[in-house]
Amino acid sequence: MGAEGRRFKSCHPDQHRAATQPARKATTERPSRSTPVKSSVEQLSPTRVRINVEVPFTELEPDFQRAYQELAKQVRLPGFRPGKVPTKLLEARFGREEMLDQVVNEALPARYGQAVSETEVHPIGRPEIEVTKKEYGEDLAFTAEVDVRPELTLPDLSSLQVSVDPIEVSDEDVEAELQSLRARFGTLTGVDRPVADGDFVSIDLSATVNGEEVPGAAAEGLSHEVGSGRLIDGLDDALIGMSVDESKEFTAKLATGEHAGQDARVTVTVKTIKQRELPDPDDEFAQLASEFDTIDELRTNLRDQVARIKRAQQAEKIQQATMDALLEQVDVPLPEAIVQAQFDSALHGAIDSVGHDEDKFAEVLAQQGKTREEFEAETRTAVEKDVRRQLLFDALADDLQIQVGQDDLTERLVATSRQYGIEPQQLFAYLQENNQLPAMFADVRRGLAIAAVVSAATVTDTDGNVVDTSEFFPDRAKAADEADTADDAADDAADDAADEAQDTTEEPSDN
């Protein structure tokens, strides 16, 4: 994992975007500034409100007119051209109440959105709407219950203290990196001896379950590094000591496919055996594998690379420890509907990963030593913690007045597209088409809030040394102040230079 260009973010993009403003505390009534719609808010709990809305019937008349016009275009009555059927005939034929139902259903989303805007409520879920009054010629009344972000009491961020393990780069770490680099430039040579650990072999594989061949488990000429553990459990142990054209059977549990989790009899046949010969770690190798002239220079560079990687790993631990420390200090009430929705999504995703098969899912859990109840309890705990983080860092982003710039979004798009191996433009189009840009925006904003929190906290290692977090968590406010100071200094210097130039031109001539 490289250190450069690393960004840190919250654990998962939210499926129900958290609000960016707290809900109102008390019941209020506020007439619309543009239309005479009455709306009020009742706080049902720290995370849920009821919005009461009244819409004058006169405000629905344009909706009725549009509905009748659309209906008139579709109806064919003798003596009337399409679109010219009188309203009274349409009411007589289809019923005024049916038209009222249609108009109300079509008008509710816009009127709900208007009420949300007027009352300054910021929902984080779908509303439950109930029409409480619906009579032709009279005001429309409805209620909307919806989850909102709770109002949180935030601590002084400078009081946060976090401790992490110090970074240590050992000679063994450097030699491991050098060994990996040598392996990339190694050559494979055939050997006339039994298989040993670290060899590269070409093998044929097949498997049976209860005496029947397993489709998809057979392979010929498969390349494998002995000891890597990349294929079937037990394969490496079986290969050690085998010779070319020798076959052996062993038992292993299949990890995927139709027989996932079942014991299979696996047959392996060795076709070729090769060993890797590594170049000597000398100056010649350094010049071949890098831009350095000597092996000592290469080792120094590898040490720097290991240090950057470990700093990135330490930064992840700092982020996690800071979030945990903050969560311990702030009580974050949970919107149960949001938690349930994300829990259901996580559970369905886990089952989908084994082909929507409940029996296979149970087998996988059994292999992990878990019951369904234990898995669901762990999943719910993780979801609750994730929702708390989302709500907390949304509140912090508001409190810190975090602004997401174009560069912030572009950086996330580029990093994410690189992760999935696609162009940033493709990712942007996909997010836009699936209405996921708001979720990315919210996640980037939370990431900036996390960086601000870490910058404000006191971070030390277990040896008591202060850890510089600016490499991964830059203080944007401090950087902005420094930029302003630099601009001011440049302006002052320019003014001084201009004044000096003017003084020079105004000096009297000696002639």
| Pairwise CA distance, residues 3 & 312, whole Å | 5
Distances (CA, A) of 65 to 57, 80, 103, 189, 266: 13, 18, 10, 84, 74
pTM of the model: 0.69
| Pairwise CA distance, residues 437 & 424, whole Å | 13
Q: What kind of fold does domain 28-147 have according to CATH?
A: Alpha-Beta Plaits (3.30.70)
| Pairwise CA distance, residues 464 & 448, whole Å | 27
What is the per-residue DSSP string for 455-467?
HHSEEEETTSPBP
pLDDT (tens, 9 = 90+) of the chain, 511 residues, equals 333 333 333 333 343 443 333 333 333 333 344 565 689 999 999 999 999 999 998 888 887 777 766 766 666 666 676 666 676 776 676 767 777 888 888 889 999 999 999 988 889 889 999 999 988 888 999 999 999 999 999 999 999 999 999 999 999 999 999 999 999 999 999 999 999 999 999 999 999 998 889 887 889 999 999 999 888 889 999 999 999 999 999 999 887 777 777 889 999 999 999 999 999 999 999 999 999 999 999 999 999 999 999 999 999 999 999 999 999 999 999 999 999 999 999 999 999 988 888 888 888 888 788 999 999 999 999 999 999 999 999 999 999 999 999 999 999 999 999 999 999 999 999 999 999 999 999 999 999 999 999 999 999 999 999 999 999 998 765 544 544 555 555 555 556 655 665 555 555 545 4
Strand 48-55 to strand 140-147: parallel, antiparallel, or no bridges (unpaired)?
antiparallel
How much is the pLDDT for 7?
33
| Pairwise CA distance, residues 138 & 136, whole Å | 6
Q: What angle in degrees, to the nearest 10, is found between the helix axes of 372-399 and 336-352? A: 130
In one letter, which amino acid is 42? E
| Pairwise CA distance, residues 102 & 85, whole Å | 19
In CATH, the number for domain 188-277 is 3.10.50.40
pLDDT digits (tens, 9 = 90+) for 355-396: 888 888 888 888 788 999 999 999 999 999 999 999 999 999
- Sheet arrangement for strand 128-133: 28-29, 38-45, 48-55, 140-147, 128-133
Strand 128-133 to strand 219-225: parallel, antiparallel, or no bridges (unpaired)?
unpaired
Q: Give the residue extent of every domain in the chain.
A: 28-147, 188-277
| Pairwise CA distance, residues 103 & 144, whole Å | 18
How much is the pLDDT for 11?
33
| Pairwise CA distance, residues 410 & 5, whole Å | 13
| Pairwise CA distance, residues 467 & 485, whole Å | 26
The tokens of 14 are what? 């939210």
The tokens of 498 are what? 């201009």
